[in-house]
Amino acid sequence: MSIHLPSISECRSIDARLPDSGSDSSRLSVFENGRQVPFAVNRVFLIHTDRSTTRGHHAHRRCSQALICVAGTCEVTVDDGRNRKQIALSGPDRGVLVPAGIWAEQRYKVRGTILMVLCDLRYDEDDYIRDYEEFLRYRAAYAPVASVS
């Protein structure tokens, strides 16, 4: 059995800037279902840091996420088991989509960083893959089998 296993190329940036969306003293950042966020949001959580740290270190079997750094600076590493890519986030105007089946880690670079995560599913501990070797086995188990001509 094979399922769609995304590659890191599917971890794309999303842009929340709107033209003429503020004044000289304020800005508006918007993330809407079906526009910047290609799924219905069923869960939102914030990660607040009081020091430089690294978090994440997991993949999801079914849950897709949009990560937006609303304050501070965060470097997101995405990994599809073959390739890794780092994406720098700073400020609420841009985020990154992380589809299910991608390993992700976040490095919080400055004190006071806040990362907002939008999820298409509610929390389910069974959806998490927290061991990298298990993640690689998961990817291998569901990889499409090459056909022989």
Could you give the CA distance from residue 92 to residue 28 in angstroms, rounded to a whole number?
Answer: 9
Q: Which residues contact 148 (CB under 8 A, 6 or more apart)?
A: none
Which residues in 25-147 belong to E strands, given as ranges?
43-48, 53-60, 65-71, 73-79, 84-90, 94-98, 103-108, 114-119, 128-129
- Other beta carbons within 10 angstroms of residue 32's beta carbon come to 9
- CA dihedral for 118, 124, 127, 128, sign (positive or negative): positive
Residue positions annotated with a catalytic role: 58
Q: Name beta bridge partners: 116.
A: 46, 68
